[in-house]
Structure 1
Amino acid sequence: MKVFRPVLHIVMFTFLTIISQVGGLEYVLIVYLSRLTRSRFKTRSQHIAFLTPVAMVVHAACVWVVIPHLAQALGREPLPISSQNIEAHAFHTVLLYRNYVNSGIESELNQITNAIQSECNNPNIKLVYLDACFPFFDGFPLLPHLSHNDGRKVDLAFLYSNDQGYIRGGVKNWLGYGVYENPLPGESNQPDKCAEAGFWQYSALSLVAFDHHPEYFTTASLNKSLVAQCTGNSRVQRIFLEPHLRERWNLSHPKIRYHGCHAVRHDDHIHLEFN
């Protein structure tokens, strides 16, 4: 068992670093604390019972205090879990440090939300973000995304409604991705073209994502307003959206681009890039 322990530590460090950037460093700290305190406990179970809440406190301190302050000193800030205008689609986005953006982008998202609320005459409209970036270093990948590596990228959920009207903070599933607004007859069908060209990953998220709210649907007016207000924001540089949704929502701004078959579909979310 002692032979495999270093390998296990390396695997855990690598895994936590990949999924959260700084989780590997937290793991190193917990391992260090474990070795410091091991002799104080008679049994392994007692030691684990002590370390578990310690690890939770360390992680909470990093999530809420340490990492935000360090990131802000280096020019990035965390998007809020929930505010009047913005919220994370899931708590794990925050726990894994996937909610960081360059300074000032939160303010731009608030401006976009306020503009949508005014245009749609609905003060309850709220933006839900799915993923942003990690807190430190340009070039560190936020997997599985190809470009969320510089503090300038944010994925937004569509604005959903049901038969009673707009659903504040509504998302289709816990993942936030993979429930597509499929092309209708007569619309451009890029998913089929990419599949025929052999890009198997293009629609792959549908294999693991399930529609927990089939009663939710997108309305053209709300989501057209969302995209239009994003294009009108001076700091928004580029928007990725599937061609058939651009056609359906009658959008033609040059900031709205197609991302190519090498990525994944963008008819389950809106990808924003800021300058």
Structure 2
Amino acid sequence: GGIVYLILLIWKRMNKKQWPDFRLPILFFAFYIFSTFAIIPYLSVIFNRKSLPISQATIRPKAFYTVLMNRHYVHEDLYRTMFEIGDQFRSKYPDAKLFYLDAGFPFINGFPLWPHLSHDDGRKIDLAFVYEKDGSIVPNPSATGYGIFVNEATEVCSGRFVYGLSRYLGWHRPFYEGVFNKTATADLIEIMVGHDRVEKIFLEPYLKRNLGISHAKVRFQGCHSVRHDDHIHLQIR
């Protein structure tokens, strides 16, 4: 967005005609949308990044703002890993989908994806827990994918501001009746830890115990980060 805005400002200075006040925002919005869907996906390949699918049987975004803000780019290795995990998960739960949250930006390593501490190289991604309603797999209740904790009262790092920050992102959809699917979420994480490329998964200690997971790849992220009982953080080698 910043690059698009800078280009338009330079173009405006080079153009001697007086622009109406409303013209720059309109041009910015139009060029931003065009570049998001028609330019950036092709440029990102230079940096070994690929955009995750928007509408696909196995993988799709939990919230469309992730796509509009270009936060759905991953390294090619993680792209393949996501589909391999998704296909294996769907073989057990045919109506399920992997809903991704934040991943990374499309270009250089080291560019921070605020507010995340480590989503800067295309090898990390956040995924939604599995929920169900009337026996069917459904998206989780949060409009953003974040902030709806499995157990709100359980806090390892009580009093740490950053640790509980994501609760302010947990906007419920009205009249939502889905519930956390413990079995399917545990199965999904077991598929992840069994993948050779997966290096680590962040999860709250109580939730790791409750799901019956003991693998060393699943670990606590520490008190310097947000809590991880509203989503799964996955990263590859």
Q: Is the structural similarity TM-score above 0.5?
A: yes
Aligned residues: 236
Kindly indicate whether the alpha-carbon contact (under 8 Å) linking 1:77 and 1:100 is maintained by their aligned counterparts in 2: yes
Unaligned residue ranges in structure 1 (runs of 5+): 1-22
Equivalences for 1:1-275 in 2 at 5 Å? Answer: 23-37=1-15, 39=17, 44=20, 48=22, 50-119=23-92, 122-162=93-133, 164-168=134-138, 170-182=139-151, 189=154, 191=155, 193-195=156-158, 198-212=159-173, 214-275=176-237
Unaligned residue ranges in structure 2 (runs of 5+): none
Which one has the largest radius of gyration? Answer: 1
Amino acid aligned to 2:160: F
C-alpha displacement of 1:61 = 2.5
Cα deviation per residue 1:222-250 (whole Å; 9 max; x = unaligned)? 10111011111111110001111111111
Cα deviation per residue 1:60-96 (whole Å; 9 max; x = unaligned)? 2211122221110121111111211111111111111
- Is 135-144 or 210-219 further displaced after alignment? 210-219
Question: What is the DSSP-based 3-state SS (H/G/I as helix, E as strand, rest coil) of the residue aligned with 1:194?
Answer: coil
How does the TM-score come out when normalised to structure 1?
A: 0.79
Q: Identity of aligned pairs, percent?
A: 37
How does the TM-score come out when normalised to structure 2?
A: 0.91
Cα deviation per residue 1:28-73 (whole Å; 9 max; x = unaligned)? 11223333456266xx25xx2x444432331122111222211101
Amino acid aligned to 1:29: I
Kindly indicate whether the alpha-carbon contact (under 8 Å) linking 1:183 and 1:244 is maintained by their aligned counterparts in 2: no
Amino acid aligned to 1:261: C
Question: What is the DSSP-based 3-state SS (H/G/I as helix, E as strand, rest coil) of the residue aligned with 1:212?
Answer: coil
Name the CA shift for 1:104/1:243 in 2 (closer, same or farther; >3 Å).
Answer: same
Cα deviation per residue 1:122-144 (whole Å; 9 max; x = unaligned)? 32210000100111222111111
Kindly indicate whether the alpha-carbon contact (under 8 Å) linking 1:98 and 1:133 is maintained by their aligned counterparts in 2: yes
Structure 2: distance between partners of 1:124 and 1:53: 40
